[in-house]
Structure 1
């Protein structure tokens, strides 16, 4: 006896067609996807920035739009997580904070494929300095990952001895590698007034007339070495003098040079020497080291109970005579040496403040250019050196 094969098919399960999304729902899904994708790219890989000031001229110009690589040095994990996506400190176009600091996560750095090197152009969160006079910028009290973004060139890496002698920079006793866009301040004497087009032609965007008499006109300019050579060749330029402070001259910047102690450190913007802190290195806390590094110990190195009291560092309630640095630090300066607010004025950049490496100029707009010359075409998609 054989089994009978059924001649009828089993009932089919009803299949419902998916509901068609409304135009609003499709738009909303697209926006959410775009925001999530942009946030991930911005956090993990690249972030766009605009150069708003002249501290890096002539290497980077006001109006340059750049990409900063997060993965070169390793992306930082988020610290302030309660924040409006794609914002920094404020909601766009308002003074309303874009975050609340109710939850602050421990911060780590994912593996990168390189480390910060001497000469790298780096974006970092401005740390400020607890001892810096408020008249000069004070201390940035935002959470670390939301502090103001700065861009400078790395002069000293952990352990380096950075020295400046009358405007010339040395690292570990050797002259710092030449920077083509580096510019400094000069006084130019002429026997006539200069048409500003001559300055612009030579890439000089910061200039001002000081004195105009019958036989002499003085200009103060910030210019590259090449621009100064070209100006010297003009027959109406009589003299060019670099405006560099002499060693020991604390006359006009005495209260604004890190570490703000002219008795122990008679420094100025063109003359100083210091050692960049390195993780694991132990120092003796003598008077000079306390003056130089107390901000690191009490504020940036992650010590919950470290204070500066009566000339001593007190850690966990006890005075200490030596200290071992817990993270690496860097010394940063702008290529516009006499027009940059940098480590000379507020100290070292902690490693946990480093955002990424500036790698590419993808757009450059000259706000003062004419209609046809608004875009600086020669700068588009140029690698940052």
Structure 2
């Protein structure tokens, strides 16, 4: 499925690029030749006449001006880095609503910006990465979750909210360590969420759990009530760090490798949107900035 914004950006870049090339290689030379021809036929060429001959139509002038900028944005956004905004709390405490993040587009392969066909393979997701991907049921929507299961892995999520992963080719399921059980500042239905440190390979990050909330195992996919998943080849199992408040692979299945957008690597700005119920400000206007949030993502 084509990305509408990327398609528009590619089309604008292509059109302005053609005009830019024709201007530099053909039209500018023709105007210069015309000036030389007129000067050879007259004793002199006043500035007004010269300006009239060398005048660029508005559409050429605008195309030449914006093409380098548009081309730079296209290359940067498609192949290097792209900004995203965090719209929900499913990745708390790692990412908060109002965080604006930078996604490294080349981490999981270079893809064409319209149809997302892979052009060059540059790497694969690692267990514990925070990844942006196209939501499988609705590919026009971007999701962000943590990579839990790699192709061939067996992932278990126990009733006491602990992960156990059996990597492809191994016989034993290895529990994912959870340490530093502390009460967090995050509240759900007047219940403080519990913050824990989770270690997954070389990644150490924090997760939140609601000690009084049970998983909706009846909604698990592909089999209701079954807490174990075998990740197919070419797919990944994703979960949010806010374990009891995340719609993730437990509920809608695996993420195909083709849906991967990139790896979230940093927060470049973070806004607060908290306000009282009687506030007159529109909900999209920030009420503060969280400078302490700026930095890398664990």
What's the TM-score once normalised by structure 2's chain length?
A: 0.66
Q: Which residue matches 1:5?
A: none
Per the alignment, in what secondary structure is the counterpart of residue 73 of structure 2? Answer: helix
Per the alignment, in what secondary structure is the counterpart of residue 90 of structure 2? Answer: coil
Contact 2:185 2:193 in 1 (8 A): no
Would you identify which runs of 4 or more consecutive aligned residues in structure 1 move more than 6 Å?
A: 369-373
From 178, 191, 205, the counterpart of 1:220: 191
Per the alignment, in what secondary structure is the counterpart of residue 15 of structure 1? Answer: helix
2:121 paired with 1:111: yes
Once residues 91 and 271 of structure 2 are traced to their aligned partners in structure 1, the CA distance between those partners, rounded to angstroms, is: 16
Residue 244 of structure 1: how far off its partner (Å): 5.0
Equivalences for 1:148-227 in 2 at 5 Å? Answer: 148-166=141-159, 167-172=161-166, 173-176=173-176, 202-204=184-186, 206-208=187-189, 219-225=190-196
Residue 155 of structure 1: how far off its partner (Å): 0.3
Contact 1:76 1:107 in 2 (8 A): yes
2:271 paired with 1:358: no
Contact 1:127 1:147 in 2 (8 A): no
Once residues 242 and 84 of structure 2 are traced to their aligned partners in structure 1, the CA distance between those partners, rounded to angstroms, is: 19
Q: Which residue matches 1:41?
A: 76
Once residues 169 and 76 of structure 1 are traced to their aligned partners in structure 2, the CA distance between those partners, rounded to angstroms, is: 32
Per the alignment, in what secondary structure is the counterpart of residue 264 of structure 2? Answer: strand
For each residue in 1:51-70, what CA deviation from the matched residue of structure 2 results, as whole angstroms up to 9, or x when unmatched?
Answer: 00001001001001011011
Q: Which residue matches 1:375?
A: 289
Residue 79 of structure 1: how far off its partner (Å): 4.6
2:83 paired with 1:120: no
Gaps of 5+ in 2: 1-32, 38-49, 167-172, 198-209, 277-284
Residue 343 of structure 1: how far off its partner (Å): 0.1
Contact 1:126 1:148 in 2 (8 A): yes
Contact 2:273 2:287 in 1 (8 A): no
Contact 1:207 1:222 in 2 (8 A): yes
Once residues 179 and 65 of structure 1 are traced to their aligned partners in structure 2, the CA distance between those partners, rounded to angstroms, is: 28
Per the alignment, in what secondary structure is the counterpart of residue 111 of structure 2? Answer: coil
Judged with a 3 Å threshold, the aligned counterparts in structure 2 of structure 1 residues 45 and 19 are, in CA distance, closer, same or farther, namely same
RMSD over equivalenced CA pairs, Å:
3.3
Q: How many residues align?
A: 225
2:100 paired with 1:65: yes
Once residues 133 and 91 of structure 2 are traced to their aligned partners in structure 1, the CA distance between those partners, rounded to angstroms, is: 14
Once residues 293 and 58 of structure 2 are traced to their aligned partners in structure 1, the CA distance between those partners, rounded to angstroms, is: 41
Contact 1:74 1:111 in 2 (8 A): yes
What's the TM-score once normalised by structure 1's chain length?
A: 0.52
Once residues 360 and 369 of structure 1 are traced to their aligned partners in structure 2, the CA distance between those partners, rounded to angstroms, is: 26
Judged with a 3 Å threshold, the aligned counterparts in structure 2 of structure 1 residues 25 and 369 are, in CA distance, closer, same or farther, namely farther
For each residue in 1:312-362, what CA deviation from the matched residue of structure 2 results, as whole angstroms up to 9, or x when unmatched?
Answer: xxxxxxxxxxxxxxxx10000000001100000011000001111001110
Judged with a 3 Å threshold, the aligned counterparts in structure 2 of structure 1 residues 48 and 179 are, in CA distance, closer, same or farther, namely farther
Gaps of 5+ in 1: 1-12, 81-105, 129-139, 141-145, 187-201, 209-218, 227-240, 247-251, 279-327
Once residues 236 and 157 of structure 2 are traced to their aligned partners in structure 1, the CA distance between those partners, rounded to angstroms, is: 16
For each residue in 1:76-103, what CA deviation from the matched residue of structure 2 results, as whole angstroms up to 9, or x when unmatched?
Answer: 12454xxxxxxxxxxxxxxxxxxxxxxx
Contact 1:159 1:275 in 2 (8 A): yes
Once residues 30 and 243 of structure 1 are traced to their aligned partners in structure 2, the CA distance between those partners, rounded to angstroms, is: 60
Q: Which residue matches 2:214?
A: 245
Per the alignment, in what secondary structure is the counterpart of residue 36 of structure 1? Answer: helix
Per the alignment, in what secondary structure is the counterpart of residue 89 of structure 2? Answer: coil
